[in-house]
Each structure stands twice: as structure tokens, then as C-alpha cells.
């Protein structure tokens, strides 16, 4: 029986380490254009993608609020998109609560959002209305939407490859995105094996303003940090397209006025394609 010396084992370990490093280096060199092309092919390919003009899907949603108060609400959700136009509408079963619904739409001109109470929007609504560029330019909703940024061959948004990392033990490719008019740090993640779009993260930190005196500066505290995450899962084929049927939105705000943490977990039913959608659907300004 052949035995291995410590020197032989060391050589094997070094070879394996070198091979792993080479594989990682090759992954790091994958260009943004290559990742996007593989992603579109994984969705269904150019011919199938061109055959679709509108999408509608619906399902269930559970909103879970963790801080500053804890609560959980169940309800229904509808997502619809027509070219660049898109809308997400969540309606919760307990209409008497302080959070009866959430509606965000883009009608091709501007982004609009509903009020949860007269004159008051939710933290999620405030974030999206304060960062309209990610809705207008097709980042919001990812590959769920016909307005998905990466479906537009004429896109003028700067996108760069960001190498690889691991999310929940899954190797993913990163794309850094710099939409016009946005001060968010945006990273999109794609499964390294399937090239499905599995996550987008939006982050922003705002430094505390200096007060007029040392005392007021001290009371204003540290910076405020915002992080919005979209997670996509449960990929299935519908009408020739492979799309996520699990969609989770998470919002975290940490700052001098306290913290806010919540998520919206959706299970979506099969999609309907190429249905006519009333243009008024996408304008939800101030709706109740």
C-alpha cells in the first residue's frame, strides 16, 4: 500500500490552493457584458424575451415589522409592468391597521406612491419616493418586471463587474450599478451557476449635521444608514421565461432617531403575459 509523506501532502495542498485561486481569478475577470448576456439567456433567450411586452403576477404577502414595534400582517400582492411602466400593490387584510396597503408605481413620467394615512407614507414608500431613479431606470423589482434594466439594450446606466462573493454558501457574481441621479451604492448579484438574478442591495449613509454649538452637535448623534435589499428565489419557467416566484424586500434604517427593520415576503403565482394593462394602473399618486 502506497503511503504519503508530509511533503507530498503539502504539495497536494498547495496545488489545490493554486487551482482554487486560478478559478477565482478567472471568475473575477468575467466582464459585466458577459454576466448580463448569460443572465438574459438564463431568463429565456433573446427571441422569447422580445416576444413579451407586458407581465402581470399576483400572490400573497406577509409584512413583518421588527423595530421599533413588532407586528405581522398578511395580504395580497399584484405586480404589473408594461415596457418601462411598473407597479407593485400590496393590500393587507387588517384594513383598520396603521398599514392598510403599499403601492408604488411608475407611469413612464414619474414615480408615485400611496399614503398609508392621510399625508403620511410608509418608511418603504418614503425610501422609494426619495430615490426615484431606481424605479424609473428599471432596477426596482429586478427580473420580475418588464422594465428590468438589463432587458434594455439602449440602457445608459453605468454597470461594472465587481468580482465574486458568497451569499448563504452560494457563489455569486457582482455587478455594480450607477444610475443617473442616484446617490445609492447599488450591487446586483447573480448565481454563478445559473446566472439568475438573486439579489439587489441599495445602501446609503448620511452623515449627521453639525449643530450651531458643541451641545447641539452632540445631541444630533451619528450618521443614518439605509439599506434596502431585494431577494429573488424559487425560479420556475412560465410562458418560456424562467422567473422568480419568491420575492422578499427588506428595509433597515439605523440612525439617531432610532431604528426601523421590516421585510415583505411574497409568494407569486404564475405570470400572465401580453395582456393589456390600463395606463392608469401605474399612477398611484396619493391613492388610498
3-state secondary structure of 95: coil
Are 206 and 218 spatial neighbours (Cβ–Cβ below 8 Å)? Answer: no
Which has the closest alpha carbon to 70: 225, 255, 261? 261
227 CB contacts (<8 Å, ≥6 apart)? 201, 202, 203, 250, 251, 252, 253
Confidence of residue 257 (pLDDT cuts 50, 70, 90): confident
148 pLDDT higher than 50: yes
How many Cα atoms are found within 13 Å in the side-chain-facing hemisphere of 35? 26
221: which residues sit within 8 A by CB, 6+ positions away? 208, 255, 256
- If one counts every other C-beta atom within 10 angstroms of the C-beta of residue 275, the result is 12
More reliable by pLDDT, 217 or 187 = 187
Range 120-137 average pLDDT: 96
- Coil, strand or helix at 247: strand
Using the predicted structure, report yes or no on whether residue 120 has a pLDDT greater than 50: yes
Count the Cβ atoms, other than its own, within 10 Å of residue 117.
11
Burial annotation 142-180 (CB, 10 A radius, 16+ → b, else e)? bbbbbbbbbbeeeeebebebbebeeeeeeebbbbebebe
Question: Residue 256: which pLDDT band, with cuts at 50, 70 and 90?
Answer: confident
Say which range, 69-73, 195-199, 264-268, has the weakest mean pLDDT: 69-73
Would you say 174 and 195 are in contact if contact means Cβ atoms under 8 Å apart? no
- Higher pLDDT, residue 169 or 146: 146
- DSSP state string for 161-179: EEEEEEETTEEEEEEEEE-
Would you state the pLDDT for residue 247? 98
What is the H or E stretch that residue 216 is in? helix 214-220
For residue 127, the model assigns a pLDDT of 97
Residues 6+ apart with CB under 8 A from 17: none
Mean local confidence (pLDDT), 89-112: 91
Q: Is the pLDDT of residue 219 over 60?
A: no
Look at 73-82, 90-99, 190-199, 242-251 and tell me which has the smallest mean pLDDT: 90-99
Least confident of 99-108, 209-218, 236-245, 271-280: 209-218
Confidence of residue 28 (pLDDT cuts 50, 70, 90): low
To the nearest 10°, the Cα dihedral for 91, 93, 98, 100?
Answer: 20
Confidence of residue 25 (pLDDT cuts 50, 70, 90): very low
Q: Structural domains in the chain?
A: 26-273 (2.50.20)
Q: What is the DSSP string of 7-47?
A: HHHHHHHHHHHHHHHHHHHHHHT--HHHHHHHHHHHHT-HH
Amino acid at each position: 500500500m502506497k503511503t504519503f509523506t508530509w511533503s507530498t501532502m503539502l504539495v497536494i495542498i498547495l496545488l489545490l490552493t493554486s487551482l482554487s485561486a486560478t478559478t477565482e481569478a478567472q471568475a473575477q475577470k468575467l466582464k459585466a457584458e458577459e454576466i448580463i448576456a448569460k443572465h438574459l439567456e438564463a431568463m429565456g433567450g433573446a427571441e422569447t424575451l422580445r416576444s413579451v411586452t407586458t407581465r402581470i403576477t399576483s400572490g400573497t404577502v406577509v409584512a413583518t415589522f421588527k423595530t421599533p414595534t413588532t407586528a405581522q400582517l398578511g395580504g395580497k400582492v399584484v405586480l404589473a409592468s408594461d415596457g418601462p411602466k411598473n407597479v407593485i400593490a400590496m393590500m393587507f387584510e387588517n384594513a383598520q391597521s396603521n398599514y392598510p396597503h403599499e403601492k408604488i408605481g411608475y407611469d413612464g413620467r414619474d414615480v408615485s406612491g400611496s399614503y398609508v394615512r392621510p399625508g403620511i407614507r410608509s418608511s418603504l414608500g418614503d425610501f422609494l419616493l426619495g430615490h426615484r431613479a431606481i424605479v424609473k431606470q428599471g432596477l426596482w423589482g429586478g427580473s420580475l418586471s418588464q422594465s428590468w434594466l438589463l432587458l434594455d439594450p439602449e440602457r445608459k446606466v453605468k454597470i461594472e463587474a465587481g468580482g465574486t462573493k458568497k451569499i448563504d454558501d452560494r457563489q455569486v457574481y457582482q455587478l455594480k450599478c450607477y444610475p443617473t441621479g442616484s446617490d445609492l451604492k447599488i450591487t446586483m448579484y447573480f448565481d454563478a451557476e445559473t446566472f439568475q438574478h438573486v439579489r439587489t442591495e441599495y445602501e446609503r449613509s448620511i452623515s449627521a449635521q453639525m449643530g450651531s454649538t458643541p451641545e447641539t452637535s452632540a445631541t444630533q448623534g451619528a450618521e443614518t444608514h439605509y439599506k434596502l435589499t431585494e431577494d429573488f428565489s424559487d425560479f420556475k419557467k412560465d410562458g418560456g421565461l424562467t422567473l422568480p416566484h419568491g420575492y422578499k424586500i427588506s428595509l433597515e434604517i439605523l440612525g439617531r432617531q432610532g431604528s426601523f427593520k421590516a421585510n415583505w415576503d411574497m409568494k407569486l403565482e404564475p405570470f400572465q403575459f401580453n395582456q393589456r394593462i390600463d395606463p392608469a394602473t401605474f399612477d398611484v399618486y396619493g391613492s388610498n
